[in-house]
Amino acid sequence: MTQRSLHVAIIMDGNGRWAQGRGWPRAAGHRAGMEALRRTVEAAPKLGITTLTVYAFSSDNWKRPAGEVRALMALFRNYIRRETAKCARNGVRISLIGRRDRLPFPLPGMVDEMEAATRDGQKLHLRLAVDYSGRDAILEAARSSVASREEMSARLGPDVDLVIRTSGEQRVSDFLIWESAYAEFHFTPRFWPDFGAADLALALEDFRQRNRRFGATAA
Ligand code: FPP
């Protein structure tokens, strides 16, 4: 049976190692990673995914060398310039999760415009996690005195069904820690720049074999 809503989250890992293995600068890996993201967004609705959340830049990534951070921010601007109109045409709504106040100018305004231009998209909700920390998101929500699990979920976002992490690492890395309470996990050794529609289909096939009990018995 196909689920009506399906939220997949991806930790896009391995860009640096992919590039270094070729003797290229890490930024080349991030550029190739952006292409992998475009392929994945295109494939997602065809595979029944309704919400896709991708980890593009964690709040801990500010600790990386300034040049790499600059390259990632430049890529983010590129992504918005190149993909906004296409996503709007194809029914993809894009939003940002994470802090916006530390993003360098002119990104905050560009993000607002991207969200406004794509807000009517019904085919896929693409959520870009940028300057994102799961712990900080929970802290921020708790400051507004949430009184129940439902209220917390309403503040943070929908529960995740499947988390995919590439590059052989098997960690959560502060990604959607409330929302993935009952998520299934799929790990693949493939580096993110090599990830494609076939890998996504394989991860979903794996997910559909799982017996999700949410703490109950199978009966
Ligand atoms: C992790 O690989 C990847 C990132 C920190 C950046 C992810 C960014 C993209 C996929 C492209 C940009 C897209 C947007 C929308 C901004 P890593 O660098 O940690 O790889 P490593 O573990 O091999 O060093």
**Domains of the chain by residue range:** 7-208
pLDDT over threshold 90, residue 1: no
Structure confidence at residue 218 as a pLDDT band (50, 70, 90): confident
Average pLDDT over residues 178-207: 98
pLDDT tens digits, one per residue of 105-134: 999 999 999 999 999 999 999 999 999 999
Query: Would you state the torsion angle of the CA atoms of residues 182, 183, 187, 188, taken in this order, to the nearest 10 degrees?
Result: 160
Q: Ligand 1, from 10, 11, 12: best to mutate by most atoms within 8 Å of Cβ? A: 12
Contacts of 199 (CB under 8 A, 6+ apart): 188, 190
**Taking the domain 7-208, which CATH number applies?**
3.40.1180.10
- Give, using CA atoms, the residue closest to atom 7 of ligand 1: 56
Query: For the chain, what percent of residues have pLDDT higher than 90?
Result: 95
- Give, using CA atoms, the residue closest to atom 3 of ligand 1: 13
pLDDT tens digits, one per residue of 66-81: 999 999 999 999 999 9
Q: Ligand 1, from 15, 37, 170, 174: best to mutate by most atoms within 8 Å of Cβ? A: 15
pLDDT at 145: 86
What is the value of pTM for the model shown? 0.96
Query: For the chain, what percent of residues have pLDDT higher than 70?
Result: 98
Average pLDDT over residues 83-102: 98
* Ligand 1 binding pocket includes 33 (Cβ within 6 Å): yes
* Ligand 1 binding pocket includes 175 (Cβ within 6 Å): no
